[in-house]
A and B are shown apart, each in its own frame.
Chain A
Amino acid sequence: MNTLSTWVQTPGAQAVGWALVHFLWEGVALGALLAAAVYLLPSSAARVRYAAACVTLFAMPVAFFVTLMVLLPGHQAPARTAFIAGPIAHGAIPIWHPSDSAPTPLNLAELLPWLAPCWFLGVLFFYGRGVAGWLAVRRLRRRGICEPVSACRRHLARLCQRMSISRPVQLLESCFADVPVLVGYLRPVILVPLGCLANLPAAQVECILIHELAHIRRHDYLVNLFQGFVEGLLFYHPAVWWASRVVREERENCCDDTVVAFTGDARVYAATLATLEHRRAVSLEMVVAATGGSLMKRIRRLLSTPQPAQRSATPAFAAGLLVVTFAAALAAWPASPTPQSAVPAVALRARLLALQALEPQASPLSSALQKLQNSEPDAAFRQWLNPHIKQKVRSEVSSQNGFALLSDASFFSPTSAPDAPSARQQAQSTEMPDPYRKWMNEDGAYIIKKEERAAFLRLQTDDEREQFIKQFWIRRDPTPGTPENEFREEHYRRIAYANEHFSSAIPGWKTDRGRIYITYGPPDQLEDHPADGTTFSVPYQRWRYRLIDGVGTNVVIEFADPTGKGEYHMTMDPVEKAAALGVLNSGQTTVEQMGSPDDGQANSPTLARAAKVFQSAQDSRVTVATGAVPVDPPPVKAANGLYIRKVFRFGQFNNALVVALGPAAGTYSISATVTTAGGVVVQVFSTGAPAPGPFFRWLTTLTPGSYVMQVLIKDPSGATKSSKTPFTVD
Chain B
Amino acid sequence: MLVKPFDPPRPTDAELEILTVLWSRGAATVRAVHEAIVRRKPTQYTTVLKMLQIMAEKGLVRRDEKQRAHVYSASRPAEWTQRQLAGDLLQRAFGGSAKSLILGALSSHRASRAELAELRQFLDDYEKGKP
Question: CB within 8 Å of B: which residues of A?
Answer: 129-130, 132-137, 139-140, 142-149, 173-176, 179-183, 194-195, 198, 208, 211-212, 215, 220-221, 224-225, 227-228, 231, 251-252, 255, 267, 270-271, 273-274, 276-278, 280-281, 283-284, 286-296, 299-300, 303, 305, 340-341, 345, 348, 527-529, 532, 534, 536-537, 577-578, 581-587, 599-600, 649-653, 667, 687-690
Contacts and interface: CB of A to CB of B under 8 A. Distances in A.
Contact of B99 (A133, A284, A652): A133
Contacts of A194: 20, 23-24, 78
| Interface SS majority for chain A | mixed
A132 B39 CA distance: 29
Given A270-B123, A276-B106, A299-B122, A583 B73 contact: yes
A221 B103 contact: yes
A140 B97 CA distance: 12
B52 to A, nearest CB: 15
Given A287-B112, A583-B73, 10 more contacts: A144-B13, A181-B103, A195-B23, A224-B103, A274-B123, A296-B118, A528-B66, A584-B77, A649-B124, A652-B127
Interface string B15-26: 011011111111
B110 A280 contact: yes
B53 interface: no
B111 interface: yes
Given A133-B98, A584-B77, A296 B115 contact: yes
Given A294-B107, A529-B64, A690-B79, A651 B17 contact: no
A581 B122 contact: no
B54 interface: no
B87 to A, nearest CB: 13
Contacts of A289: 109-112, 115
B120 A274 contact: yes
Nearest to B29: A600
Given A293-B118, A583-B27, A145 B126 contact: no
B80 A296 contact: no
6 contacts: A142-B13, A175-B82, A180-B104, A252-B105, A299-B123, A582-B27
Contact of A180 (B78, B94, B105): B105
Contacts of B112: 286-291
Contacts of A300: 122
B20 A293 contact: no
Contacts of A176: 82, 85, 91
Contacts of B115: 289, 292-293, 295-296
Given A132-B94, A179-B105, A340 B100 contact: yes
Contacts of B97: 129-130, 132-133, 136
A290 B119 CA distance: 16
Contacts of A584: 23, 77-79
Contacts, number: 256
B83 to A, nearest CB: 8
A667 B76 CA distance: 10
Nearest to A584: B77
A212 B103 contact: yes
Contacts of B64: 529
A526 to B, nearest CB: 9
Given A133-B97, A147-B36, A587 B26 contact: yes
B126 A651 contact: yes
A181 B102 contact: yes
A663 B106 CA distance: 33
Contact of A277 (B31, B103, B111): B111
Given A274-B119, A296-B122, A599-B36, A585 B103 contact: no
A72 B73 CA distance: 67
B71 interface: yes
Contacts of A251: 103
B104 A134 contact: no
Interface string B52-95: 00000000001010110001011101111111010000110111
Contacts of B27: 529, 581-583, 586
A716 B23 CA distance: 21
B90 to A, nearest CB: 7
Contact of B13 (A143, A583, A689): A143
Pairs A-B, 7 closest by C-beta atoms:
A581-B26, A136-B94, A586-B26, A136-B98, A133-B97, A146-B20, A181-B104
A581 B23 CA distance: 10
Contact of A582 (B73, B95, B100): B73
A137 B102 contact: yes
Contact of A281 (B39, B75, B77, B116): B116
